[in-house]
Structure 1
Amino acid sequence: MGRLFGTDGVRGLANAELTPELGMAIAASAARVLAESDRSHRPVAVVGRDPRASGEMLEAAVTAGLASAGADVLRAGMLPTPAVAYLVGELGADLGVMISASHNPMPDNGIKLFAEGGHKLPDAVEDAIEARLDEPGSRPVGSAVGRVRDLDDADERYLAHLLAAGPEGTSLAGLRVVVDCANGAAAQLAPEAYRRAGAEVIPIHAAPDGLNINENCGSTHLGEVTAAVAEHQADIGIAHDGDADRCLAVDAAGGQVDGDQIMAILALALRERGQLVEDTLVATVMSNLGLHLAMRDAGINVRTTAVGDRYVLEELRAGGYTLGGEQSGHLVLPAHATTGDGLLTALRLMARMAATGRSLAELASVVVALPQVLVNVRVTDKAAVAAAADVQDAVAKAEIELGDRGRVLLRPSGTEQLVRVMVEAPTRELAERIGQQLATIVASVT
């Protein structure tokens, strides 16, 4: 059996792979591990969820698991993932649990854990929790059993934090925004946050019923927010995912603005205010070469990490940097958040539009994305294929052909026996030709 925890917690088909029994065991084990690391007080955990129907079941299981191990529970209800992370730090809690599968389809669900301060758990702590899942452990009784209460002001605490984290003195008055809430955790909070910041807000997919989260909407389906921007003649469209840790955008003409472009816009804004530490942006290897070229021209360094927000967060913390993120729209501003926060990202993006008087299309034009081709090749041993001499020789030849006009990335999948072949080039034709050549060689090695 592989490691239970992935790069973003534990995920699976709810009630089949991710069962209430497993949720209860994870929560109880987490509480025991935390209690043993600090015996000075009784652990306190904040628990939130997105609106998936299975979240109700898993919330009950997680809450029971925590209380059965002697942890007190603050039940925050339906909240975005970054809100739970924030509340852990704000309330001085020992643990945060978010029940969500983010942008995944409704039948899936997940359990994300946050440590003290709202940071993601280190691998070693996750391993300790997993190792103790099947241990019976001693259970507290009487007054030592954990207590459960609802955190009734969770929404207001998070909204106040968001509005305080925006650039000082910047109002969004005069901006008309369409926000696609993905029928997810931010269905009420995102429109309210943008209204309080001064914008005229038109929400869509803001009526979660437990079954419609991410269904043909949100950051993975930009068609409807694009159409709504045109219909309402809005200045910008914002698209979140089910737990609102991501933000993608659409400009007034319907042009899509991805995480790379949003990172560039925010990096330039921070640098202008003298707040971009060491003039450095952190991005993953999947960010388009166009971002690197734009930042180089602006005198901004780009530090590159492996794919996954976990690695972006590690680099941000290690270097004390100000901004990092992924092409998918998962951006982190460490001065204000310990994880990706789609609402904070959107507020900062719209504040830049308001402060400069420039359209989103004009701001985003700083990044000219190179055509990118991604080919997934199924293999029998992804590590061996990626290291094969024939594959490495083919990559070297492709890199020589592209020079500084493009790049090649071969990456074994983190979850499947796939090798992902990514090529960027000045033209789509060239990218497709080189991508197919490399894919053929990768397939022949298997």
Structure 2
Amino acid sequence: MSLIKSISGIRGTIGGKVNDNLTPLDVVKFASAFGTWLQNNKNKKDLTLVIGRDARISGQMVSSLVTATLQGLGINVIDLGLSTTPTVEIMVPELNADGGIILTASHNPKQWNALKLLNEKGEFITGENGAEVLALAENEDFNYAEVDDLGKYETRDDAFDIHIQQILDLPMVDVEAIKAKNFKVALDAVNSTGGIAIPMLLDKLGCETIKLYCEPTGHFPHNPEPLKEHLGDICELMKKENADVGVVVDPDVDRLALIDEKGEMFGEEYTLVAVADYLLKHKKGAAISNLSSSRALRDVARSHDSEYFASAVGEVNVVTLMKEKNAVIGGEGNGGIIYPDLHYGRDSLVGVALFLTHLAKENKTVSELRAGYPSYFMGKKKIELTPEIDVDAILSKMEQEYKNEDVSTVDGVKIDFENNWVHLRKSNTEPIIRIYTEAHSQEEADQLGDDIIAKIKSLI
């Protein structure tokens, strides 16, 4: 069991001891810290926060604790109830709120929950801001409101409608083209809120939805991370139902994985690649992903005479670079689509709408679409070092060792070779170097990882 306090929020397992797990006291303490931080940084008396949660079992309990805590600080709460991460992000500016809290542990198993913190733009707070919130939580320097000044509470049940309408209104979402195709879409929503939101969107797009695990019970029927090894059921359903495309989302609906008509994975890295291909065909500009994402996005961007840039790992870093470069599209290789014409957050709903538009206009099957993209394979390894070894020194030596290659030190050390790449990142909690590789075959990617491990060992 664990409690992880980071600049992006607090995450942990339900139950157990205070400061070791995500207990009610930890929830109250952290919600108090965020509310207090907002009060310290806003020049206004009445503050309003939007909250929403995924369907996990502990969600109602955690939501009640957060709501009462914020009201106790004198902060008004607008509660969306069962929602998605992108929906909460959109509703914060929509409702002119001062921030938001998303109650979700994303792709973690059902015993986990988390508080993710948003600013007034509906975007994740910065690392600097997160550090200030953590310091307040540590000091417990809170001043709660007197009885006449308690925060107000209201609920909204129209957030999905607002989110979906904003997607349908996007010029690059061609509703009529999608409707004309009568797509048959299989959906695995891992018994969370995607089972509510995605069918609403698909209905508006004129698609037939075949639902699998769409009851928002919070009892995840398989590991909720949308990876190939967890998705055997929907791959079988695709073949059984002769569906055109399979859609898989994680519990908070910010990661999108796709499955082709044969029941084969489209490739999590290629969700962003396909959407970028469509958008950059119509508007030249920058595409952004992080340093550990596939080179395929770079290749597609260049094919449309557009630029590609890579940020440090982490959604906040991707968004920061997207704004700097005024990017057309961005995201992460885990199936996270960030489309700035809607909002600066990973959003599976807009990802579905843009992908189906692309599929309709190309007049291809999903497998034919996938076959048109460069094929890359990724490997993930790690090397565990003894505590006395200076990991930073090792990374510096690797940078020097490969100084004649294209090397980036934005986040760890990434070495771009002509036909493949390797990205070395150190763990913040253990003497470990994580090694990500990509090449034109799985064997080559794995071999590159082994070769780099051998090189690291030779430098120790």
Please say if residues 101 and 116 of structure 2, whose CA atoms lie closer than 8 Å, have aligned partners that are also in contact. Answer: yes
Q: Is the 8 A contact 1:171 1:197 kept in 2?
A: no
8 Å contact from structure 2 (residues 286, 325) kept in 1: no
In 2, Cα distance between the equivalents of 1:273 and 1:384? 43
Aligned to 1:370: 376
Instruction: Please list the CA deviations of residues 174-194 of structure 1 after superposition, one character each: whole Å capped at 9, or x if unmatched.
Output: 111101111112111111211
Residue aligning to 1:47: 51
Q: Counterpart of 1:296? A: 302
The aligned amino acid for 2:37 is V
- Aligned AA (1:161): Q
Relative to the length of structure 2, the TM-score reads 0.88
Residue 120 of structure 2 is matched in structure 1 by: 116
1:162 aligned partner: 167
> 1:398, CA displacement in angstroms?
9.4
Most deviating of 401-410 and 73-82 = 401-410
Contact 2:192/2:217, CA 8 A, preserved across alignment: no
Tell whether the 8 Å contact from 1:48 to 1:99 is kept in structure 2 after alignment. Answer: yes
Instruction: Determine whether 1:235 maps to 2:244.
Output: yes
Deviation, structure 1 residue 427: 3.8
Q: Structure 2 vs 1, CA of residues 426 and 171 (structure 1 numbering), >3 Å: closer, same or farther?
A: closer
CA distance in 1: counterparts of 2:92 and 2:305, whole angstroms = 36
Post-superposition Cα deviations, 1:43-84, rounded to whole Å, max 9, x if no partner, equal 101111111111122111111111111100111111011111
Paired with 2:129 and 2:231, the residues of 1 have a C-alpha distance of 37
Identity of aligned residues (%): 23
Q: Does 1:260 align with 2:269?
A: yes
The one-letter code of the counterpart of 2:204 is: R
In 2, the alpha carbon distance for the partners of 1:360 and 1:419 equals 36
Q: Which residue of 2 aligns with 1:190?
A: 198
Residues 420 and 438, structure 2, Cα contact 8 Å, conserved in 1: yes
Q: Decide whether aligned partners of structure 1 residues 38 and 214 sit closer, same or farther in structure 2, where only a CA change above 3 A counts.
A: farther
CA contact (8 A) 2:80 2:157 kept: yes
Distance (whole Å) between structure 2 residues aligned to residue 353 and residue 111 of structure 1: 36
Q: Does 1:13 align with 2:9?
A: no
Name the amino acid aligned to 2:377.
P
- Give per-residue Cα distances to partners, 1:180-215, cap 9 Å, x unaligned: 1111121111112111111111111112323x2362
Q: How many residues align?
A: 439
Report SS of the residue matched to 1:132. Answer: helix
Give how far 1:395 is off: 5.2
Q: Distance in 1 between matches of 2:57 and 2:175?
A: 40
| Cα pair distance change 1:192/1:415, threshold 3 Å | farther
SS in 1 for 2:324: helix
Residue-by-residue CA offset, 1:80-132 (whole Å, 9 max, x unaligned): 11111111010001111111000011111111011102011122222222222
Change beyond 3 A, Cα 1:178–1:144 = same
Quote the Cα distance in structure 1 between the aligned partners of 2:48 and 2:71.
Answer: 10
Equivalent residue, structure 2, for 1:146: 151
Superimposed CA distance per residue, residues 266-316 of structure 1 (whole angstroms, 9 cap, x where no aligned partner): 223222333x4xx21001111223332343333222101111212111111
Greater mean alpha carbon deviation, residues 78-87 or residues 380-389: 380-389
State the match for 1:344 in structure 2.
350
Which residue of structure 2 aligns with residue 269 of structure 1? Answer: 278
Which 10-residue stretch deviates more, 353-362 or 421-430? 421-430
SS state at 1:367 partner:
coil
SS in 1 for 2:449: helix
| Residue 171 of structure 1: how far off its partner (Å) | 4.3
Residue 438 of structure 2: aligned partner: 424
How far apart are the structure 1 equivalents of 2:145 and 2:406?
Answer: 61
CA distance in 1, matches of 2:132, 2:142: 14
Cα separation, partners in 2 of 1:403 and 1:52, compared to 1, 3 Å: closer
TM-score by length of 1: 0.91
Aligned to 2:78: 74
- Cα 1:62/1:252, change in 2 over 3 Å: same
Listed one character per residue, the Cα deviations across residues 413-432 of structure 1 (whole Å, up to 9, x for unaligned) are 34543212233334443333
Query: What does residue 410 of structure 2 align with?
Result: none
- 1:285 is aligned to 291
Q: Is the contact made by 1:291 and 1:369 (CA closer than 8 Å) also made in structure 2?
A: no
Task: Structure 1 unaligned segments of length 5 or more: list them.
Answer: none
In the alignment, structure 2 segments of 5+ residues that lack a partner are 408-414
Shift in Å, 1:388: 5.3
Root-mean-square deviation (Å): 2.6
| Residues 84 and 193 in structure 2, CA contact (< 8 A), matched pair in contact too | yes
Q: Select which of 56, 62, 66 maps to 1:62.
A: 66
Q: Which letter maps to 1:175? A: F
> Distance in 1 between the 2:144 and 2:4 partners?
26
Q: Shift of residue 242 of structure 1?
A: 0.7
